[in-house]
Structure 1
Amino acid sequence: MPTPLVDVVLPCLNEERALPWVLSRLPEGYRGIVVDNGSSDRSAEIAADGGAIVVHEARRGFGSAAHAGLLAATAPIVAFCDADASMDPADLVGLVELVTSGAADLALGRRRPTAAHAWPLHARIANLALARLMRTATGIRLHDLGPMRAANREALLSLGLGDRRSGYPLEMVLRAASAGWAVVEIDTPYAPRVGRSKVTGTLRGTVIAVQDMSRLLRGERA
């Protein structure tokens, strides 16, 4: 197929139930890159059947999967989205338009829950605290550390992102701010996910994410 305008990186761990819907929602000109991070179900097979590029990343961690997808991308714009159907890939259009118009170097989706149980309370509280620290560290008025985002591929690669765990999304924002990028946040719907959460849907996953991000913020202050 011709090189698409946007490659959409979809980190994936056991998302066979959600992937058909997620891939069907990709806008025209957007190509899915599903990064299988050690799934024990049929996620990789379903992704391939759905027309996505499948990348296998053995090292566990959100950052490992997200960065493997970035390295595999060839489109001028790279977007990131969860593969659990909590986010609609069709909403990436608004983020991408900010980048292609020059209004933003990094466009972020601020999660707006569509149901009370879409975003667990412990995860919301952790996000609020980390977002406050992020605003202090960057001077940018941001409210969310959500994974939905878009930017120029070459520019993203130039950031030299090194985190391979839950801190990857935060490191991207911190490095972008240090580089003087225009970072813009817009609202995006956030629905209940399909299947079991591996990160912020569990208390343990949230604690690990907070630890990873706190470490990055301490490094930024130092």
Structure 2
Amino acid sequence: MISKKDISIVIADDHPMLLKGLYDELTIHNYQVTGKAANGMQALEQILTLEPTLALLDIDMPLLNGFEVIKTASEKKVSTKFIILSFLKETKYITQAKKLGIDGYLLKEDSFFEIEKCIREILQGNSYFSKAIDSSSLQNASEELKKLQFLTPSETTILKLIAQQISTIEIADSLFVSKRTIEKHRSNIISKLELGKETNTLTKWTLNHKNVILEL
């Protein structure tokens, strides 16, 4: 296990007291906090400049959210491992985290003991999700991603447009096909995703998973 003094960390949260509390806990436990950020843009700049061992990020931040920071940093091929530290534990956020291949996902209600456990696990090459996240949420997130893999390129394109709240007629016009063709695609997508037959079930599902869908 790498020594704590050799673990550099960037932390980011737009709540000053939470940011200070996390900084204090990490430094008390002998971790090297090399950067603090109050918004996503600052966090991205520090990660790209400092290339810390770890970055602990909130999701809901100004300018860039935590997921956007991780996506951009990953595209730049930084070696930093990422841990989300958030109040959000709904399946759609867990799904997006899994889609991005995020190393760790913790809740702000977790103890520092669990933060340290997460750090140890991901530095050993494992992923770690908070024990407070219901196992069914993790399972559901994995199942949602599996279902999306069955969509054809055309269905994926249409799903992205639906997620942007574009109507069936507008989608048909933009793709130069008939409304009936789009309706057939919608029916196939509903079947592959195993959604119910309720009115607007596909639209509701895509809005709940919008961030993941737009990354397909």
TM-score by length of 2: 0.35
Which structure has the highest strand share of the two?
1
Relative CO higher for 1 or 2, CA cutoff 8 Å, sep ≥ 6? 1
TM-score by length of 1: 0.34
